[in-house]
């Protein structure tokens, strides 16, 4: 199960810097997580100021 970033994302980039496997990148209007790379560690959710990353 991978994490997904919802529309609450404010594009601050905190999650991208925290991801140990570089599964997160900037998208058009929010950051996105590559489900095939995500290891479901939850590090992104722990640093997000708006609680946008959620387990799928």
Contact 55, 40 (CB under 8 A): yes
According to CATH, the topology of domain 3-55 is Alpha-Beta Plaits (3.30.70)
Q: How many CB atoms lie within 10 A of CB 21?
A: 11
In angstroms, what CA-CA distances link 43 with 13, 28, 40, 47?
13, 22, 8, 7
Continuous segment of H or E residues that includes residue 44: helix 43-47
What is the predicted pLDDT for the residue at 22?
Answer: 98
- Ordered by start, the domain boundaries in the chain are 3-55
Query: pLDDT tens digit string along 33-46?
Result: 999 999 999 999 99
> Which regions of the chain are under pLDDT 70?
none
What is the predicted pLDDT for the residue at 21?
Answer: 98
């Amino acid at each position: 199960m991978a994490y997904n970033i919802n529309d609450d994302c404010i594009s601050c980039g905190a999650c991208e810097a925290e991801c140990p496997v570089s599964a997160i990148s900037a998208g058009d209007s929010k950051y996105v997580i590559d489900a095939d790379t995500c290891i479901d560690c939850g590090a992104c959710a722990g640093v997000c100021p708006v609680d946008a990353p959620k387990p799928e």
